[in-house]
Amino acid sequence: MYHLTALVTLLAIAFYFFVTINVSRARSRTGIKVPATSGHPDFERAFRIQANTLEWMPIVLPALWLFAIYISDAIAAAIGAVWIVGRIVYFIGYSQAAAKRGPGFAIQALAAITLWAGALGAVVLRLV
């Protein structure tokens, strides 16, 4: 069973839900009306955090599950947890200033690439 990977998947979805709610809160705080996506730097940063998280989820989630299936549930979950931590660091940094998003981005990108490369390597090894 893949209980740990399932838990990390649910935590990733919970984090995405959190950043989505944060966009709504930023709209209220800054007075940016729907459907506008610009107009106040605080709102724009919240919007980009949410959008960037969504952009990475279709990369991370399949790679997470393929890694778990082909390599290890526990290792996949651990790397997936690092991805979530990276997203949290990204959220904190980017919320303060766009220039502070780099460390979180690097952490989550490294975790995502590790999951993808590990899954790819495991699949290819089984094909040979």
Domain extents in the chain: 3-127
Residue pLDDT, tens place only, 23-76: 999 999 999 999 999 999 999 999 999 999 999 999 999 999 999 999 999 999
3 state SS of 10:
helix
Model pLDDT, residue 52: 98
Please state, for a pLDDT cut of 90, what percent of the chain lies above it. Answer: 100
Calpha distance 30→32 (Å, rounded): 6
Q: Where are the alpha helices (DSSP H) in 31-101?
A: 41-70, 73-96
Residue pLDDT, tens place only, 73-84: 999 999 999 999
pTM above 0.85, yes or no: yes
* Count of other CB atoms within 10 angstroms of residue 97: 10
Mean pLDDT of 5-12: 99
Task: Tell me the CATH architecture of domain 3-127.
Answer: Up-down Bundle (1.20)
- The overall average pLDDT reported for the chain is 98
